Amino acid sequence: MSSWIRFHSSDGTVGFGVLEDDCVAEYEGDMFGAARATGSRRRLEDVRLVSPCAPTKIIALWNNFYALAEKLGKAAPSHPLFLIKPPMSVIGPGQPIRRPTGYSGKIAYEGELGIVIGRQCRDVSVDEAAACIFGYTCINDVTAVELLNEDPNFAQWCRAKGFDTFSCIGPAIRTDFDWRNAHVVTRLDDVERQNYPLSDMIFSPEAQVSMISHDMTLMPGDVIACGTSVGVGSIKDGAEVTVSIEGIGALSNVLGARG
């Protein structure tokens, strides 16, 4: 198993590589294609992590956990229910979540598992989908809650969730990750708010990739946010949210100043 990261080095360039203890073994080329080890190693303390991938889009699922569906009184869907988040919404570990200008309402966190696509795929079967998954990461799917139903004529999912900095992704992409035995744990200022099993997913990662690939072409680096379960809550200005999944790592971001 490997943990892939992207980072800013002291000269401002973005590099990528594999975590090895407290160092990163640098690679060059294409993380999702012909990646080659350079033989160089950097200490983690000498680099700044950024989002481990640069997706063309984030597909964010809703109502994909039985426990939350039961709490909301919703039936399990027959197809993944999703919205699209823009690439400009992506930030990495340690980067601040910015409150949208002119918005003073509630902002919510959602700790989730993210599927990172490793190859272009379209109309793939469930059996073929596994080969399209490069690995898995942590996501905080952020929402400006009071904008969602601001206009009673149209639910504004993309607006409420698509602001710059509203897709926190990282710290790493873990390959060959056993999601069936893992939990998503979300802590708000070090107080546990979510702790749910990924085995409770309605649609498995392979099913998600297959079914969504029949709706649109998925590109290398694209991310599917698998949806969240019970325990979603709001973030106060200055509060830190940490989403952790054992085997992947911990993703921490603070709700900072207006953007």
Statement: residue 141 has pLDDT above 90: yes
Owning domain of residue 58: 51-258
Q: How confident is the model at residue 11 (pLDDT cuts 50, 70, 90)?
A: confident
If asked whether residues 44 and 78 sit together in one domain, one would say: no
pLDDT at 259 over 60: no
Domain count across the chain: 2
Is the per-residue pLDDT at 1 higher than 70? no
The pLDDT value given to residue 258: 58
Residues 20 and 108 in one domain: no
pLDDT at residue 12, as a whole number: 78
One domain for residues 39 and 116: no
d(CA 245, CA 111): 10
Strands (E), 72-188: 81-85, 90-91, 97-99, 107-109, 111-117, 133-141, 143-144, 167-174, 183-188
55 plus 43 within the same structural domain: no
* Cβ neighbours for 4, distance < 8 A, ≥ 6 positions apart: 16, 17, 18, 19, 31, 52, 135, 172, 173, 175
Residue that is last in its domain, among 50, 65, 86:
50
Residues 220 and 93 in one domain: yes
As a whole number, mean pLDDT of residues 17-43 equals 94
Q: What is the pLDDT of residue 257?
A: 63
SS3 96: coil
At 158-184, the pLDDT tens digits run 999 999 999 999 999 999 999 999 999
Please indicate, yes or no, whether residues 19 and 34 belong to a single structural domain of this protein: yes
Region 41-52 average pLDDT? 94
State how far the Cα of 120 lies from the Cα of 207, in Å rounded to an integer: 16
Same domain, 23 and 70: no
Residues 148 and 190 in one domain: yes
How far apart, in whole angstroms, are the C-alpha atoms of residue 247 and residue 218?
25
Q: Are both 98 and 187 inside the same structural domain?
A: yes
CATH for 61: 3.90.850.10
Answer yes or no: do 148 and 173 share one domain.
yes
CATH number of the structural domain spanning residue 3: 2.30.30.370
Whether 10 has a pLDDT exceeding 90, the answer reads: no
Write out the two tokens for 71.
């709490």
Statement: residue 223 has pLDDT above 90: yes
Asked if pLDDT for residue 83 goes beyond 60, the answer is yes
User: Same domain, yes or no, for 158 and 92?
Assistant: yes
Residue-wise over 20-53: b if at least 16 C-beta within 10 A, else e? eeebbebbeeebbeeeeeeeeebeeeebebbbbb
Mean pLDDT of the chain: 96
Burial category of 82 from C-beta neighbours within 10 Å (exposed 0-12, middle 13-18, buried 19 and up): buried
Provide mean pLDDT across the span 126-142: 98
| Sheet of 249-258, strands arranged across | 97-99, 249-258, 240-245, 183-188, 191-197
Cα–Cα dist 119/93, whole Å:
24
Residue labelled with tokens 């900095």: 165
Q: What is the pLDDT of residue 13?
A: 84
Q: How far apart are CA 226 and CA 249, in angstroms?
A: 17
Evaluate if pTM is beyond 0.85.
Answer: yes
Rounded CA-CA distance 245/61 in Å is 18
